[in-house]
């Protein structure tokens, strides 16, 4: 392997160290800000280091066909040290600002939805309830007025047809007693009961 290839590999590993530090700080800040359960942290650490090892090996394979030399670890170490002494605070501050900005954006969107959608729907629902209540009360009021207006005419009509309905009622009651409707209905019911018992209680 040529010297230029070695320096290139070392530079790539240095950048990989910077990237590892950035990702590590980023996910640590996210887990703290979003209040992840503590038992999740070891799982996330294992996932992070597994992903970091795979990415570093892939980068190393692309730069020098996967040859592991001392300068590879030196490049990684230098990149991580440079990151934590020069860039760590900046990255943490940027990630926190991004999280705060996303939260503010979400709150703004929720407030807009509440003002533009939820509150108009609630107002529309209340207006419908008021209209329905007013319509029901108005309908009942109109019905009462109609009943009061029709009641005298109904009494007049009953009074006018009373001379006809009285003889008719007497005539119907006379024939009902003459034909003995109640006794005949009782007999028919008894016959039906007998037939039912005879057919279905064998």
In a domain, 100, yes or no: yes
Cα angle for residues 166, 171, 175 (degrees, 5° grid): 150
In a domain, 117, yes or no: yes
* Residue-level pLDDT at 75: 80
The predicted-structure confidence for 129-173, as pLDDT tens digits, reads as follows 989 888 888 888 888 888 888 777 777 777 776 676 666 666 666
What is the number of domains present in the chain?
1
* Residue-level pLDDT at 91: 87
Residues near 27 by beta carbon (within 8 Å), at least 6 away in sequence: 44, 48
* Residue-level pLDDT at 110: 92
* Residue-level pLDDT at 109: 93
In a domain, 99, yes or no: yes
Q: List the domain range (segments joined by +) for residue 94.
A: 3-131
Which positions of the chain have pLDDT values less than 50? 200, 202
CA atoms within 13 A on the CB side of 50: 6
* Residue-level pLDDT at 11: 81
Burial bucket for residue 62 (CB in 10 Å: 0-12, 13-18, 19+): exposed
* Residue-level pLDDT at 57: 79
In a domain, 105, yes or no: yes
């Amino acid at each position: 392997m040529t010297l230029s290839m070695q320096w290139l590999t070392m530079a790539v590993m240095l950048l990989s160290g910077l990237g590892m530090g950035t990702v590590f700080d980023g996910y640590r800040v996210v887990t703290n800000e979003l209040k992840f359960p503590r038992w999740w942290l070891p799982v996330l650490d294992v996932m992070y280091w597994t992903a970091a090892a795979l990415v570093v090996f892939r980068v190393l394979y692309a730069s020098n066909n996967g040859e592991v030399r001392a300068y590879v670890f030196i490049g990684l170490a230098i990149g991580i040290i440079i990151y934590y002494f020069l860039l760590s605070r900046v990255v943490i501050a940027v990630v926190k600002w991004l999280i705060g900005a996303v939260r503010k954006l979400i709150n703004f969107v929720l407030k807009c939805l509440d003002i533009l959608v939820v509150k108009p729907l609630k107002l529309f629902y209340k207006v419908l309830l008021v209209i329905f209540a007013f319509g029901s009360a108005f309908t009942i009021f109109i019905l009462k007025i109609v009943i009061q207006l029709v009641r005298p005419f109904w009494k007049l009509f009953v009074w006018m047809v009373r001379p006809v309905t009285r003889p008719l009622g007497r005539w119907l009651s006379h024939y009902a007693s003459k034909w003995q409707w109640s006794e005949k209905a009782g007999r028919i019911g008894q016959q039906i009961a007998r037939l039912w018992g005879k057919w279905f209680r064998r």
